[in-house]
């Protein structure tokens, strides 16, 4: 079998077969039927060897992560993920590697009800680019631009686990046996908050996903919404695994600036706050109020309880 057929075979059936794919893989382009009354939402994410992942990473987890990080962007817009395309640059065709990568990609696409509808393969340094497309009811996409003075700031799940995981896979920290699996899972197999993102359509005034760390990502909402924020660092949700694995100061650092948690960060106006917990309780993902939007445009402030908290933000480096 030629290299071309091998690649084709690996990805031929990736993901869920959707009825809205009129023409999928195999033609010059895919033909998709966007549901009546919906807007199309499109996002792109690239992962490059040596920048976003280590050369020895399990290709299965790489396939998973590529889908999950793209779908997470759709979730942050309140969109329902539908279709994926893949641009793959490979130094060589390694059948075992490709098979495992395609399996990780396929099972995760399937999980999120997405179908791979096309792609392209070239030769070169290992690099993976995915384009994810989803739909949202017309005009209902949640953006980064809607936060208003007085809104409450929330985050889903816990923060800092993936940053600790990154240290762990580089053997820079030690973690008790009890917590290793959780931290590695959070780093290698992030979960996109898809159902919750859709539930936020009529609740959140703005939203985004945390990919580069809370402190850095928050600035995007501040700039786009032309607001400020005060975050209480005592409120940041952290897993028991993180709290048990490092001292409080280090844990806080991971939670504030560690990337790749793929939790949703969103703001809620005061008058919709009451219904929030009831509406979100069926999703089984905890949401935590961590701060409040202010009118001080672009100003990111921290406090610790009632005390001011000085935090020198350093941008997150994938490694
Ligand atoms: Mg994002």
Domain ranges in the chain are 3-137, 152-308
Per-residue pLDDT at 250 exceeds 70: yes
For 174-194, how does the pLDDT look when each residue is reduced to its tens digit (9 = 90+)? 999 999 999 999 999 999 999
pLDDT at 1: 64
Residue 294 CB-half CA count within 13 A = 13
| d(CA 139, ligand 1 centre) in Å | 19
Please indicate if the annotation marks 260 as binding a ligand: yes
**Residue 283 DSSP symbol:** G
Mean pLDDT across 49-74: 95
pLDDT > 70: percent of the chain: 97
User: Could you give the CA distance from residue 108 to residue 101 in angstroms, rounded to a whole number?
Assistant: 11
User: Could you give the CA distance from residue 167 to residue 174 in angstroms, rounded to a whole number?
Assistant: 9
> Is the separation of the CB atoms in 245 and 179 below 8 Å?
yes
User: Could you give the CA distance from residue 192 to residue 73 in angstroms, rounded to a whole number?
Assistant: 8
Mean pLDDT across 109-138: 96
pLDDT at 279: 87
Please indicate if the annotation marks 28 as binding a ligand: yes
pTM for this one?
A: 0.95
pLDDT at 193: 97
Please indicate if the annotation marks 176 as binding a ligand: no
In this prediction, residue 3 has a pLDDT band, given cuts at 50, 70 and 90, of confident
More confident residue, 51 or 265: 265
pLDDT at 315: 59
3-137: in CATH 3.30.1330.10: yes
pLDDT > 90: percent of the chain: 87
| d(CA 275, ligand 1 centre) in Å | 26
In this prediction, residue 314 has a pLDDT band, given cuts at 50, 70 and 90, of low
User: Could you give the CA distance from residue 44 to residue 201 in angstroms, rounded to a whole number?
Assistant: 21
User: How far is residue 248 from each of residues 38, 156, 251, measured CA to CA in Å?
Assistant: 46, 20, 5
| d(CA 208, ligand 1 centre) in Å | 6
Please indicate if the annotation marks 244 as binding a ligand: no
What's the chain's average pLDDT? Answer: 94
Helix (H) or strand (E) holding 292: strand 287-294
CA dihedral 23, 25, 28, 32 (to 10 degrees): 30
| d(CA 270, ligand 1 centre) in Å | 25
| d(CA 307, ligand 1 centre) in Å | 31
| d(CA 262, ligand 1 centre) in Å | 8
| d(CA 46, ligand 1 centre) in Å | 12
User: Could you give the CA distance from residue 87 to residue 297 in angstroms, rounded to a whole number?
Assistant: 39
For 277-297, how does the pLDDT look when each residue is reduced to its tens digit (9 = 90+)? 888 989 999 999 999 999 999
Q: Which protein residues have a CB closer than 5 Å to ligand 1 (ion)?
A: 73, 209, 211
pLDDT at 9: 86
Mean pLDDT across 158-163: 97
Per-residue pLDDT at 318 exceeds 70: no
Instruction: Please state which architecture CATH assigns to domain 152-308.
Output: Alpha-Beta Complex (3.90)
Please indicate if the annotation marks 212 as binding a ligand: yes
> Is the separation of the CB atoms in 298 and 252 below 8 Å?
no
Please indicate if the annotation marks 27 as binding a ligand: no
For 192-221, how does the pLDDT look when each residue is reduced to its tens digit (9 = 90+)? 999 999 999 999 999 999 999 999 999 999
Mean pLDDT across 246-264: 95
Please indicate if the annotation marks 20 as binding a ligand: no
In this prediction, residue 317 has a pLDDT band, given cuts at 50, 70 and 90, of low
| d(CA 80, ligand 1 centre) in Å | 15
pLDDT at 12: 86
Please indicate if the annotation marks 317 as binding a ligand: no
Please indicate if the annotation marks 316 as binding a ligand: yes
pLDDT at 319: 45
| d(CA 75, ligand 1 centre) in Å | 9
pLDDT at 238: 98
| d(CA 93, ligand 1 centre) in Å | 31
């Amino acid at each position: 079998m030629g290299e071309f057929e091998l690649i084709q075979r690996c990805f031929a059936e990736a993901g869920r077969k959707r009825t809205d794919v009129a023409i999928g893989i195999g033609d010059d382009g895919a033909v998709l039927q966007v549901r009546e009354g919906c807007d199309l939402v499109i996002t792109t994410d690239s992962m490059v060897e040596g920048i976003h992942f280590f050369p020895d990473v399990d290709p299965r987890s790489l396939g998973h992560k590529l889908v999950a990080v793209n779908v997470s962007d759709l979730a942050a817009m309140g969109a329902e993920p539908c279709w994926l395309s893949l641009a793959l640059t490979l130094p060589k065709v390694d059948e075992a590697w490709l098979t495992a990568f395609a399996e990780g990609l396929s099972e995760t696409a399937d999980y999120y009800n997405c179908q791979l509808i096309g792609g392209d393969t070239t030769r070169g340094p290992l690099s993976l680019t995915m384009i994810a497309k989803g739909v949202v009811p017309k005009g209902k996409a949640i953006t980064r631009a809607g936060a208003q003075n007085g809104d409450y700031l929330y985050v889903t799940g816990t923060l800092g686990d993936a940053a600790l995981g990154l240290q762990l896979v580089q053997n820079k920290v030690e973690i008790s046996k009890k917590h290793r699996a959780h931290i590695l899972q959070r780093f290698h197999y992030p979960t996109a908050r898809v159902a919750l993102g859709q539930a936020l359509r009529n609740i959140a005034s703005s939203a985004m996903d945390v990919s580069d760390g809370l402190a850095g990502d928050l600035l995007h909402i501040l700039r786009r919404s032309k607001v400020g924020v005060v975050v209480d660092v005592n409120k940041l949700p952290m897993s028991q695994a993180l709290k048990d694995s490092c001292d409080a100061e280090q844990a806080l650092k991971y939670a504030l600036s560690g990337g790749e948690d793929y939790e949703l960060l969103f703001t809620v106006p005061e008058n919709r706050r009451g219904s929030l917990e009831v509406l979100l309780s069926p999703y089984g993902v905890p949401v935590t109020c961590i701060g409040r939007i202010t009118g001080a445009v672009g100003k990111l402030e921290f406090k610790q309880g009632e005390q001011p908290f000085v935090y020198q933000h350093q941008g997150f480096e994938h490694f």
